[in-house]
Amino acid sequence: MKVLVIGRGGREHAIAWKLAQSDKVEEIFAAPGNDGMANVARRVPIHENEWDRLIEFAKKEAIALTVVGPEQPLVDGIADRFRTEGLAIFGPSKAAAMIEGSKSFAKRLMKEYGIPTADYASFRDYEAAVDYVKRRGAPIVIKADGLAAGKGVTVAMSVDEALGALSDMMENQVFGHAGAAVVIEDYLEGEEFSLMAFVSGERVYPMVIAQDHKRVYEGDQGPNTGGMGAYSPVPQLPGDAVAVSVERILKPVARALVKEGRPYSGVLYAGLMWTNEGPKVIEFNCRFGDPETQVVLPRLESDLFDALLAIARGEEPELTWSDRAVCGIVLASEGYPGDYQKGAVIRGLDALEKETLVFHAGTKRADGRWIADGGRVLLVACRDAELCKATAKARSEAEKLKQPGLFFRRDIGWRALKTNGGFSATVRNG
């Protein structure tokens, strides 16, 4: 069968890489893809928002399944269009994707259906938001209501920082229309983790968990990014973390969406905080996480294509997972997540170990050389039975690629290693 993957980043590279391992997949197309995906997919020069062309291509090539990577097409309703045309697609409807498209909607849903999350208030009026922050105090969390490529969140440790974030979002419009409204949340303390699950109506099939590092600098300092690295499993969490989170959060939200007339079909990403009271929701996303996908899919032993097609058909997927740990480290262009310079030459890819995984995000091939062409450039991932060894391998491999114009965090996984004395021999949870 032929598969079309829509998107261009490291997440889409990882999806295509895993799909290529299926005996049932004859050919994979990536629209528009990136140059680094050439070994697993054929690039198609169609952008994510060119739906008519994508539909025409899917029909012409007899695509058996289209997989949507990024959130914007899903929030805009691409899955509805494909289904109207009689084409199989993996991803939620526009109505269901609102769980990521509007944080105000997601918070209202959680409050109404008793799904644990931080207390909050939503604002469209700047002065009212300022007054609320001054009354509430800090630490406090400021979120752009709409899509902001993973960057529209400020965890403010002071009132001044919170007011600055409000000004950036609502007055200076640094996130465009996404910041026209904001959600202001109470600060949650605990261990953050990412739990993705295949969801079909009220049925939930969890994946193994991961922890993402959003802050740009080591020690989880600096502004939020799209993600500087991730690892799986997360051994510092209780052994029942996945089961509890599924029962208290994922199943209830799936039932809530059905009751709301927005039945969900696809991957539901839950960004969670494990608090003294158990798991609480930080955010929901309507697609595979990035960079979590790059460390979760390498642990999937069963056929990804079978799983995606089963969910698209409303059937039960078969999922088996490896006990091996995976650590992935992002190399980014200097200046990211702010203004950054493209064009750094990427050297050292040929020197990486054979078993090291490389997922390209912002790269291009020019004159026989790999060139940085985005903020997050690529991710290197390594696997091992022990998390401490997987993280050490990934750091060593990332060092081979570091050069002027590129940087990476050397402490991906530090929370797990600190909590577990630098050692994690077995997978205690998903």
Ordered DSSP codes for 196-229: EEEEETTEEEE---BEE--EEETTTEEEE-S-SE
Give the span between the Cα atoms of 312 and 87, in whole angstroms: 10
Listed range (144-148, 246-250, 260-264) with the worst mean pLDDT: 144-148
Q: Where are the alpha helices (DSSP H) in 264-340?
A: 292-296, 304-312
Given pLDDT bands bounded at 50, 70 and 90, which one contains residue 178? confident
- Contacts for 220 with CB less than 8 Å, ≥ 6 apart: 213, 214
Whether the pLDDT of residue 2 is over 70: the answer is yes
Phi, psi of 122 (to 5 degrees): -110, 145
Give tens-digit pLDDT for 345-392: 999 999 999 999 999 999 999 999 999 999 999 999 999 999 999 999
Q: Left, alpha or beta for 367 (phi > 0: left; psi -120 to 50: alpha)?
A: left
Q: Give yes or no for residue 189 having a pLDDT over 50.
A: yes
pLDDT, mean of residues 278-289: 96
* Residue 429 confidence (pLDDT) above 80: no
Q: Residue 202: is its pLDDT beyond 70?
A: yes
Q: How far apart are CA 95 and CA 268, in angstroms?
A: 14
Residue with tokens 């050389």: 369
For residue range 74-83, what is the model confidence (pLDDT) as tens digits?
Answer: 999 999 999 9
**pLDDT for residue 228 is more than 70:** yes
> Mean of the pLDDT values across residues 89-112?
96
In the predicted structure, residue 428 carries a pLDDT above the cut 60: no
Q: How many whole angstroms separate alpha carbon 114 and alpha carbon 108?
A: 10
pLDDT band at residue 147 under the 50/70/90 scheme: confident
CA distances from 367 to 316, 333, 364 (A): 47, 20, 10
Arithmetic mean of pLDDT, 164-171: 93
Report the distance separating Cα 191 and Cα 415, nearest Å.
9
Distance CA 88, CA 69 (A): 15
Q: What is the pLDDT of residues 11-29, one digit of tens each?
A: 999 999 999 999 999 999 9
Cα(342)–Cα(344) distance, integer angstroms? 6
Q: Find the farthest-apart pair of alpha carbons in the chain and give their distance in angstroms, rounded.
A: 59
Residue 139: asked if its preceding bond is cis (omega within 30°), the reply is yes
Per-residue CA distances from 195 to 208, 211, 241, 385, 412 (Å): 7, 9, 10, 21, 18
Taking only the tens place, the pLDDT of each residue in 28-39 is: 999 999 999 999
Q: pLDDT tens digit string along 253-270?
A: 999 999 999 999 999 999
pLDDT of residue 254: 98
Q: Tell me which residue has tokens 């997949």.
A: 25
Considering just the CA atoms, what is the radius of gyration of the chain in Å? 21
CA distance 266 to 27: 22
Q: Is the pLDDT of residue 410 over 60?
A: yes
Q: How confident is the model at residue 307, as a pLDDT?
A: 98
Mean pLDDT of 185-200: 96
Q: Is the pLDDT of residue 150 over 80?
A: no
Q: Is the pLDDT of residue 420 over 80?
A: no
What pLDDT sits at residue 377? 98
Question: In this structure, are residues 328 and 230 in contact, taking their beta carbons and an 8 Å threshold?
Answer: yes
- In angstroms, the CA 356 to CA 379 distance is 10
Q: Does residue 151 carry a pLDDT above 90? A: no
Give the residue among 96, 154, 429 at the shortest CA–CA distance from 284. 96
Q: Which two tokens stand for residue 195?
A: 């739990």
Q: Which domains does the chain have, with CATH numbers?
A: 2-94 (3.40.50.20), 119-186 (3.30.1490.20), 191-419 (3.30.470.20)
Q: Outline where 224-289 has alpha helix (H).
A: 241-245, 251-259
CB burial of residue 43 (10 Å; 0-12, 13-18, 19+): middle
Per-residue pLDDT at 323 exceeds 60? yes
Among 100-114, 330-344, 415-429, whose mean pLDDT is lowest? 415-429
Helices (H), 102-180: 103-113, 126-136, 159-166
* Token duo for residue 240: 């029942």
> pLDDT at residue 398 above 50?
yes
d(CA 263, CA 255): 8
Element (H, E) at 234: none
- What is the percent of the chain with per-residue pLDDT over 90, rounded to a whole number? 92
Q: What is the mean pLDDT of residues 180-187?
A: 92
93 three-class SS: coil
Query: Would the pLDDT of 424 be above 70?
Result: no
**Residue 422 predicted with pLDDT over 60:** no
